[in-house]
Amino acid sequence: MSDSKASIGTRFLLYPQSPTTPGYDKPELVWISDKQGSILPGPQNARMYVVDPVDPKEPYEYPFLPPFHGAKAPPVEPSPDGHFDHLQPGSRAFLCAHAFGCVARILDVWEGYLGHRINWHFADTYERLEIIPHIDWENAQSGYGMLEFGFRPIAGGGEDLYALNFDVIAHEIGHSILFSEIGMPPVGLPPGPDLHAYHEGVSDLVSLIGMLHFDTAMDRLLRRGSGNLMALNELNRVAELADERQIRIAGNARKMTEVGHEVHDRSRPFTGGFFDALVQTYHDLAVERGLVELPHGSIADARDIDQDLEQTYARAFEADYDLKHFQLKACLADARDIMALGLAKSWGRLDSNSLSYAGAAFAVCDALQEAGHGNVADTVVECLAWREIITPYDVHMMGQGRSRSAVWI
Ligand SMILES: [Zn+2]
């Protein structure tokens, strides 16, 4: 194999959503950064390996922890040229490769934004992550050094396999990335009120951004609404009907005073505010590039959207949509990357021992400003203030010296 060939990467087939989701029944070809031929039978590489137990396996529970010692199916072999896209969807071998490929893809995406390698938070104990693609359990779990997947029974028989669900895998790896980047929760001390909710929300965002790296997902999201992503956020409730779970979660309308203390519930305002800022950034880029004409004002201002305004947005995007699709897709990709970069670069400013929602929000803004996106930082403040993540008090205390701090609220 020549050197130039070795640098191309390794092919996998991944489903952007569970294949039971309408429109997502075909996997997409994805390149993983590992050099062609470097991923060994398993699949396995230097940081993770797949194990497929022969007999039905119970979930790990203390004191039963990795590594798996029972009987294992033979490792899944790559194709003769070193790729893993030759496996038949529906086969056990495909399931093994899919789980591995999703983890590798998420690491590729987020290491790109972070600009450094993500080291497992459990590296002192386990050298590599153990991935078990099928266990006898109606759930999935990520624990110290392991990731294992069961299934959701489908009405009328059959199983919706979590190892085929990019969202489930990405969310779990999202937690791992956060443990690595902002540290493990404090030991012996109660965590701050926002830490676990932040973890849940950001893990959902890790998955959302990962999903937006699939061509299939980008095309479907844009073409479905003729590029009008207002249809996907809370404003007209279409988000609740979205096929993509990540959009259903992120397109919510919750404020901090409307959620309880349950961590998933409490994670919604941050996730929703971040998604609003992503959509607003996409709109701003589309206007800036002359693709659409939209009324002035931000998403945060337009909460009381009336039907006229909704129609104005729909008409602006629908006009000549087919001629604008690829340019709007580029706007969405840029908005995705700006927001994801802000989130990833915020982690270096955070510590799980002292994390607060407001602190996390300002860390994103600071990272955006440092990257030259002060206008997007202002959008984030507007969106997260509407969610009551940032209060006027926070702006007074933490906004000092930041751009436009006087007019942030
Ligand atoms: Zn979670």
Which of the listed residues 155, 182, 209 is the one where a domain comes to its end? 182
C-beta of residue 128 within 8 angstroms of C-beta of residue 49:
yes
Structure tokens at 378: 């202002």
Single-letter amino acid code for the residue at 255:
K
Mean pLDDT of 31-45: 97
Strand pairing category for 151-153 and 159-161 = antiparallel
Residues 359-403: tens digit of each pLDDT: 999 999 999 999 999 999 999 999 999 999 998 777 766 655 554
265-296 pLDDT, tens digit per residue, is 999 999 999 999 999 999 999 999 999 988 77
Chain centroid, CA 329 distance in Å? 18
Same domain as 147, residue 21 = yes
- Alpha-carbon distance 294 to 286, whole Å? 9
Q: Is there a single domain that holds both residue 255 and residue 362?
A: yes
Same structural domain, 169 and 199: no
pLDDT above 90 (res 345): yes
Residue-wise pLDDT for 89-123, tens only, equals 999 999 999 999 999 999 999 999 999 999 999 99
CA pair distance 99, 104, nearest whole angstrom: 9
Ligand 1 center from residue 375 Cα (angstroms): 31
Domain carrying residue 335: 195-407
What's the 43 CA to ligand 1 centre distance in angstroms? 25
Ligand 1 center to residue 170 CA distance, Å? 10
Q: How far is the CA of 239 from the centre of ligand 1 (A)?
A: 21
Burial of 238 (0-12, 13-18, 19+ CB in 10 A): middle
Same domain, 163 and 221: no
Give me the pLDDT at residue 313, please.
Answer: 82
- Please, what is the average pLDDT of the chain? 90
Same domain, 83 and 136: yes
Residue 2: predicted pLDDT: 46
Distance 199 CA to ligand 1 centre (A): 7
Does 257 share its domain with 399? yes
Q: Does the structure show a pLDDT above 60 at 38? A: yes
Contacts of 237 (CB under 8 A, 6+ apart): none
Q: Does 237 lie in the same domain as 172? A: no
Distance 70 CA to ligand 1 centre (A): 28
**Number of domains comprising the chain:** 2
Of 403 and 125, the one with more pLDDT: 125
Å from CA of 174 to ligand 1 middle: 8
**CB neighbour list of residue 315: distance below 8 Å, 6 or more residues apart:** none
Shared domain check, 362 and 383: yes
pTM, full prediction: 0.93
Interval 160-216: pLDDT, tens: 999 999 999 999 999 999 999 999 987 887 788 899 999 999 999 999 999 999 999
Task: Name the pLDDT band for 156 (thresholds 50, 70, 90).
Answer: confident
Pair 348, 237 in one domain: yes
Strand 140-143 to 146-149 pairing: antiparallel
Instruction: Tell whether the model's pLDDT for residue 55 goes beyond 60.
Output: yes
